[in-house]
Chains A and B, each alone.
Chain A
Amino acid sequence: MLILQCPYCGIQCDETELAPGGQAHLKRHGPGSSDEDFEAYLFDRDNPMGVHFERWRHANGCGKWFLAARCTTTLEVFGTYSAQTTEPPAEIADRIRARRPNWEGRT
Chain B
Amino acid sequence: MRRYSAFAIAREALRHHTGWNRAWRSRDPKKHYKVIVIGAGGHGLATAYYLGKNYGIRDIAVLEKGWLGGGNTGRNTTIIRSNYLQDPSAAIYEKSRSLYETFSQDVNYNAMFSPRGVLMLAQTHHEVRGYQRTAHANALQGVETEFVGPERVKEIVPIINIDGPRYPVLGALWQPRGGTARHDAVAWGYARACSGMGMDIIQKCEVTGVRSDGGTVTGVTTTKGDIACDKLAIVVAGHSGHLAGMAGFRLPIESVALQALVSEPIKPCMDCVVMANTVHGYMSQSDKGEMVIGGGADGYNNYTQRGSFHHVEETVRALVETFPMISRLKMMRQWGGIVDMTGDRSPIISKTPLGNTFINCGWGTGGFKSIPGSGWAMAELVAKGEPGPLAAEFGLDRFREGRFIDESVAAGVAH
Residue of A nearest to B302 (CB): A72
Chain B residue contacts of A35, Cβ below 8 A:
400
Whether B400 contacts A44 by the Cβ 8 Å rule is no
A72 to B301, CA, bound (A): 6
Whether B304 contacts A73 by the Cβ 8 Å rule is yes
Whether A44 touches B300, Cβ cut-off 8 Å, given contacts A1-B309, A15-B310, A16-B310, is: no
A98 within 8 A of B: no
Q: Dominant SS at the A interface?
A: mixed
Whether A47 touches B255, Cβ cut-off 8 Å, given contacts A19-B299, A36-B400, A75-B302, is: yes
A49 within 8 A of B: yes
Whether B301 contacts A52 by the Cβ 8 Å rule is yes
Whether B254 contacts A42 by the Cβ 8 Å rule is no
Q: Dominant SS at the B interface?
A: mixed
Against A, the Cβ 8 Å flags (1 = close, 0 = not) of B164-191 are 0000000000000000000000000000
Residue of A nearest to B400 (CB): A39
Residue of B nearest to A22 (CB): B254
Which residues of A are interface residues toward B (Cβ below 8 A)? 1-2, 15-16, 19-20, 22-23, 35-36, 39-40, 42-49, 52, 54, 70, 72-75
Which residues of B are interface residues toward A (Cβ below 8 A)? 239, 241-242, 245, 250-255, 299-304, 306, 308-310, 343, 399-400
Chain A residue contacts of B309, Cβ below 8 A:
1
Whether B399 contacts A48 by the Cβ 8 Å rule is no
Whether A2 contacts B300 by the Cβ 8 Å rule is yes
Chain A residue contacts of B254, Cβ below 8 A:
22-23, 45, 47
| Cβ distance A95 to chain B, nearest Cβ, rounded Å | 19
Known: A20-B300, A49-B239. 9 other contacts (CB 8 A): A36-B400, A44-B252, A45-B241, A47-B251, A47-B254, A70-B300, A73-B304, A75-B302, A75-B306
In the assembled complex, 18 residue pairs joining A and B whose CB atoms fall closer than 8 Å, in A order, are A1-B309, A1-B310, A2-B300, A19-B299, A20-B299, A23-B254, A42-B343, A42-B399, A44-B251, A47-B241, A47-B242, A47-B253, A47-B254, A48-B241, A48-B245, A49-B239, A49-B303, A75-B304
A34 to B301, CA, bound (A): 28
6 smallest A-B Cβ distances: which pairs?
A43-B252, A47-B241, A20-B299, A20-B300, A44-B250, A39-B400
Whether B303 contacts A45 by the Cβ 8 Å rule is no
Whether A43 touches B299, Cβ cut-off 8 Å, given contacts A1-B309, A48-B241, A74-B304, is: no
Chain A residue contacts of B250, Cβ below 8 A:
40, 44-45
